[in-house]
Chain A
Amino acid sequence: NAGVTQTPKFQVLKTGQSMTLQCAQDMNHEYMSWYRQDPGMGLRLIHYSVGAGITDQGEVPNGYNVSRSTTEDFPLRLLSAAPSQTSVYFCASSYSLNGQAGITEAFFGQGTRLTVV
């Protein structure tokens, strides 16, 4: 199993450009999520999905869109990049046990380091 795969690993964008960060998992996990990591702030949840066709907003959703057309893929779209979106982005997946996702850990991808200039 590859686990959670994110592409690209590094990206530089100009302000106003759009792009999609890819995330795929091969563990058949129902739950997928996107976090951004900024110094001193830990990981903050951007968007999450509890299954194909279902997405919801996290703590910091503005400027980002997601979709979940398949169980495996959960892309994150930056609509119009801003310097404030310079960050490291992590995708994670987890699965439920007895209907409770919280009792299993999250599996993380390697991260995408995004710089917006």
Chain B
Amino acid sequence: AQSVSQHNHHVILSEAASLELGCNYSYGGTVNLFWYVQYPGQHLQLLLKYFSGDPLVKGIKGFEAEFIKSKFSFNLRKPSVQWSDTAEYFCAVNADGQNFVFGPGTRLSVLP
């Protein structure tokens, strides 16, 4: 069965610091990869997605992620975080064309 792990449960950063959130998945075949963000009290929104092609994908709000197939990883990055990036971030995998498997989430707190 597919599984997704996220390295950090809670990350605390100051504004302007750089961000990297780790995501690893377990599945040997072709996968589609996603990062979702959930702002406090809101539903999940798509940040970015990878289907094929350039392994470095850019999403909204200055986020990017790099797919490293050999490491089964899809880490999320942002060069300079803002207070408004405070949210919970979920990595997700879709390998069978139907269902998404989500990681446990990483809570990001950005201090002003």
Contact = CB atoms under 8 A, between A and B. Distances in A.
Contact of A111 (B43, B98, B99, B101): B43
Interface stretch (B13-21, B44-52, B65-73, B75-83): B44-52
B90 A43 contact: yes
Interface bracket on A: 20 to 34
Interface residues of B, number: 25
A90 B44 contact: yes
B99 A45 contact: yes
Please classify the interface of chain B as helix (H, G, I), strand (E, B), loop, or mixed, using the class held by over half of its residues.
Answer: loop
A100 B30 CA distance: 12
Nearest to A96: B97
Contacts of B46: 105-106
Interface of A: 31, 33, 35, 40-45, 48, 50, 58, 90, 92, 96, 99-103, 105-106, 108-111
Interface of B: 4, 9, 32, 34, 42-46, 49, 51, 90, 92, 94-105
